[in-house]
Amino acid sequence: MKKFVIAVSVILSLCGAGMADEGTDLYKKCATCHGVHGEKSALGKSKIIKDMGVAGIMNALKGYKDGTYGGAMKGMMKAQAAPLSDAQITAIAAHIAK
């Protein structure tokens, strides 16, 4: 399985679809609440995520996953962050913060 994942990511990067494009794809489902460029406060509750920086976004998403981060509506973000792998979180953060 691990070899398969590595092979797929090598093929993707050879096709020019690197991390940034994976992030673009993964971010699509976030845009409803956070805005196409991460420029909105989700439901009037979240920070403007594009201003959080790569490290800040990664910290928040990993924290939502393991329950160590968040405010009143963290349950909503836990559902968003739970299925993401560390590599996907890195790709998403790079996409949002750029």
- 83-90: long-range contacts, CB 8 A cutoff, minimum separation 24: 84/26, 86/62, 88/22, 88/26, 89/58, 89/61, 89/62, 90/19, 90/58
Residue number with CB closer to ligand HEC (32 or 68): 32
**Region 57-76 residues binding ligand HEC, contact defined as CB under 6 A:** 57, 60-61, 70-74, 76
CB of 94 to ligand HEC, least distance (A): 11
Q: Which residue is nearest to ligand HEC (CB)?
A: 30
Distance CA 42, CA 30 (A): 9
Contact positions toward ligand HEC, by CB under 6 A?
A: 29-30, 32-34, 42-43, 45-47, 49, 52, 57, 60-61, 70-74, 76-77, 80, 92
